[in-house]
Amino acid sequence: MASRAPRHPPLAAYVLHRYDWSESSVILDVFTREQGRIAVAAKGAKRPFSQLRGVLLPFQRLHLSVGRDAGGDDGREVQTLRTADWAGGHAMLTGAALFSGFYANELLMKLLARHDPHPRLFDAYGETVAALGGSDEETQAALRAFELVLLREIGLLPDL
């Protein structure tokens, strides 16, 4: 009787960016609380009736289950998406708030190394995304606060 690998709890995550991979699949750059920034292959996510199409959206909190093929950690950079569930969130960003959200995502993609978890930064990102739907002053204050947490977490903020 073959033993099964232990199941891991789902990862709390946000989609930062998506890249077309094939005719029916995408590669996602996701920010997770547990593993930091990781790359995930969502096979079949572009198919018309895929349940993932309406779930893998930017700025929405998700619970992801990822894994590798049998054999464990084979050194590949991209993990395979097993399941994705919406974990609650808010209305989709539009207009200037959408551009502010893309700015926050770009900061994470450019400044964070892969597989370097930052739980405090993850929480700050969630708070920032929630604040982006407010007034322009609230949006700018949220972005500046997020930038400071990001710089502190990656060790680049001088002692002020």
Q: pLDDT tens, position by position, for the chain (160 residues)?
A: 444 444 668 999 999 999 999 999 999 999 999 999 999 999 999 898 888 988 999 999 999 999 875 444 545 689 999 999 999 877 888 889 999 999 999 999 999 999 999 999 999 999 999 999 888 999 999 999 999 999 999 999 887 7
Q: Is 138 helix (H, G, I), strand (E, B) or coil?
A: helix
Task: Provide the whole-model pTM.
Answer: 0.87
| 47-82 burial code (b ≥16 CB/10 A, e <16) | eeebebeebbebbbbbbbebeeeeeeeeeeeebebe
114: buried, middle or exposed (CB in 10 Å: 19+, 13-18, 0-12)?
A: exposed
Residue 62, pLDDT score? 95
